[in-house]
């Protein structure tokens, strides 16, 4: 009995250390998508994130943090519409994000990060659609993800997917009805969208916000 109690106590102690040490080692949780100006990643944050993830091994949230930090600068590239050759770090970031997705498939940030990396490499790549849809399925009403999701979806040939069209149209309706501060994201997406993406945006706004549709068309007709 005493040996069993001692063994159990040791196991509990090891588990507590395995849980606590990564929490102490990890850096502050990075935002993705980043809000406002994209601040440079602190020099040791990535090292801390990778150490914590390696130590915990099966913590998907820690691998997600590492992937987001490893992909530093990605969101600025997306805003500028860059495509093609990309830093080698993005390949590492995508590998970490895939590992995080296997461990924490409920984390919509991870799926959006994978879609964002694929979009950065090739905006027209239809592979963007699968992780993007998973981002919608796991967090359909997360306002923090809406702007980037809309941008990626309407710029990609994945927008030809009927299922993705339904998800994007639903998100447009949610923005108009519940997140009016994000209407600027609709304008930005429409400006850079593929023709099919623009058609989807306009068709949805025709039903839910004719005034915003008129503003978009008026801007397009300007000098």
Cβ-in-10-Å burial (0-12, 13-18, 19+) of 20 comes to exposed
Going from the C-alpha of 117 to that of each of 17, 88, 110, 159, 190, the distances in angstroms are 34, 12, 11, 17, 21
Tens-digit pLDDT profile for residues 153-203: 999 999 999 999 999 999 999 999 999 999 999 999 999 899 999 999 999
Tens-digit pLDDT profile for residues 18-65: 677 778 888 888 888 875 444 455 568 888 998 998 888 899 999 999
Confidence (pTM): 0.87
The structure tokens listed for 48 are 């801390």
Orientation of helix 195-208 relative to helix 183-192, angle to 10°: 150
User: Would you mind telling me the total number of residues written for the chain in this entry?
Assistant: 223
Cβ atoms of 95 and 64 within 8 Å: the answer is no
């Amino acid at each position: 009995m005493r040996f069993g109690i001692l063994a159990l106590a040791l196991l509990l102690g090891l588990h507590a250390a395995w849980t606590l040490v990564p929490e102490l080692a990890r850096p502050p949780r990075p935002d993705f998508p980043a809000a406002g100006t994209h601040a440079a990643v602190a020099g040791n944050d990535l090292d801390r994130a990778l150490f914590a993830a390696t130590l915990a091994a099966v913590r998907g949230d820690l691998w997600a943090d590492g992937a987001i930090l490893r992909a530093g600068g990605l969101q600025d590239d997306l805003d500028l519409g860059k495509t093609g050759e990309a830093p080698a770090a993005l390949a590492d970031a995508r590998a970490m994000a895939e590992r995080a997705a296997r461990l924490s498939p409920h984390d919509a940030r991870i799926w959006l990060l994978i879609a964002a990396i694929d979009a950065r490499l090739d905006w027209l790549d239809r592979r963007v659609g699968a992780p993007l849809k998973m981002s919608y399925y796991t967090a359909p009403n997360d306002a923090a993800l809406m702007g980037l999701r809309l941008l990626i979806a309407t710029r990609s040939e994945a927008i030809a997917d009927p299922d993705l069209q339904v998800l994007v149209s639903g998100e447009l309706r949610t923005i108009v009805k519940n997140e009016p501060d994000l209407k600027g994201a609709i304008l930005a997406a429409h400006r850079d969208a593929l023709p099919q993406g623009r058609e989807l945006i306009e068709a949805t706004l025709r039903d839910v916000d004719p005034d915003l549709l008129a503003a978009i068309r008026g801007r397009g007709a300007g000098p």
